[in-house]
Structure 1
Amino acid sequence: MDIRPIRTEPDYEAALDEIASLMGDDPLLGTPEGDRLDVLTTLVQAYEAQHHPVPPPDPIEAIKFRMEQQGLTVADMKPYIGPPHRVYEVLARKRSLSLAMIRRLHRGLGIPAESLIGP
């Protein structure tokens, strides 16, 4: 098994191509191909974390996404944000989320607190 560190974008692209090829064969864990896939995936994840970090989601977009996922309306947000006018203000970015709102959204809707806090 000749595996090298991923240091450049061409190395990264080659590793992705090889991962796609290996996944097409659906190798079993513990086989040479399965081990190769496991190691390449780990290397790609490390490279992506360093060179292609995914920024945290925007807090308002995270709320809108959860509302869409769960089919929630502005009225449904009352226990988490407050009266409808306040929900509209928050969603329109005219009012910031308070710490109490963040806690209620996290506990009640399962939105990660780090997503609600924002950068």
Structure 2
Amino acid sequence: MALNKVRALMKLKPAKESEEGQELEMLITLIEAYEDVHVPMQASDPIAYLEYRMEQDNLKQRDLIPFIGDKTKVSKVMNRKQELSVSMIRRLSEGLNIPINFLIPSGL
């Protein structure tokens, strides 16, 4: 039910400060906590996954600009000098049809 609610909220693209945005962030946190306890997974490396998807889909870093930001920001993220923000994760998930849990680094 929580995952369905997250999907529905993501379609609305709520502002982070809005009630829906805060609900989305809370549900993501709760889902992560549940999965940490009940669904053992190996550590998540969103950048490694993005690199894999870029290779599979024949994408270049410039193709990530709509989801991450300008060329400089994309470069910083891909070189692990800047972490993905919640809004970047949301845009990448929606735009590239990537399961959100593949984009959330372990330890969050």
Is 1:93 aligned to residue 77 of structure 2?
no
For the 8 Å contact 2:77–2:83, the answer to whether it is kept is yes
Q: Distance in 2 between matches of 1:89 and 1:103?
A: 18
TM-score, L = length of structure 2 = 0.58
Q: Distance in 1 between matches of 2:55 and 2:44?
A: 15
Which residue does the alignment assign to 2:53?
66
CA deviation vs aligned residue, 1:97-117 (integer Å, no higher than 9, x gap): 011100010001112111111
Which residue does the alignment assign to 2:18?
none
For the 8 Å contact 1:56–1:115, the answer to whether it is kept is no
- Residue 66 of structure 2 is aligned with which of 71, 75, 79? 79
What residue identity is the alignment partner of 1:58? D
Which residue does the alignment assign to 1:110?
97
What residue identity is the alignment partner of 1:91? M
TM-score, L = length of structure 1 = 0.53
What CA RMSD, in Å, does the superposition of the two structures yield over aligned residues? 1.3
Percent identity of paired positions between Structure 1 and Structure 2: 45
Give 1 or 2 for the bigger CA radius of gyration.
Answer: 1
Q: Distance in 1 between matches of 2:41 and 2:90?
A: 24
For the 8 Å contact 1:74–1:88, the answer to whether it is kept is yes
Could you list the runs of 5+ residues in structure 2 that have no partner in the other structure?
A: 1-39
C-alpha displacement of 1:56: 4.3
For the 8 Å contact 1:62–1:111, the answer to whether it is kept is no
What residue identity is the alignment partner of 1:104? R
Which of structures 1 and 2 has the larger relative contact order (alpha carbons within 8 angstroms, sep 6+)?
2
